[in-house]
Amino acid sequence: MEGKIKVSIARDECISCANCWETCPDFFEENPDDGFSQVVKKYRANDNPGEGEAPVELGDCVKEAASECPVEIIHVG
């Protein structure tokens, strides 16, 4: 998958602080049912809200969001 960046969110450990979807709203959003972070549908992988593939142009914001997660549950690459 050249040109894509794998991203995962350990959703069961999310504390819904909102940092990721405020930092990178093109890729992360709040799940309306459980309030935890998820990958927006467009970039989701395997029908799993905690898995996705970011296009290169969103790489910087996805990485910034990961670095702003207080519980460090967003893994990039």
Q: Which residues bind ligand SF4 (CB under 6 A)?
A: 9, 14-20, 37, 69-71, 73-74
What the block records as the tokens of 51 is 């898995």
Cβ proximity to ligand SF4: between 3 and 49 the closer is 49
Closest contact distance (angstroms) between CB of 56 and ligand SF4 is 21
Give the CA count within 13 Å in the CB-facing half-sphere of 6: 5
Q: How many other C-beta atoms can be found within 10 angstroms of the C-beta atom of residue 42?
A: 9
Cβ proximity to ligand SF4: between 2 and 32 the closer is 32
Cβ proximity to ligand SF4: between 2 and 35 the closer is 35
CA angle 59, 71, 10 (to 5 degrees): 70
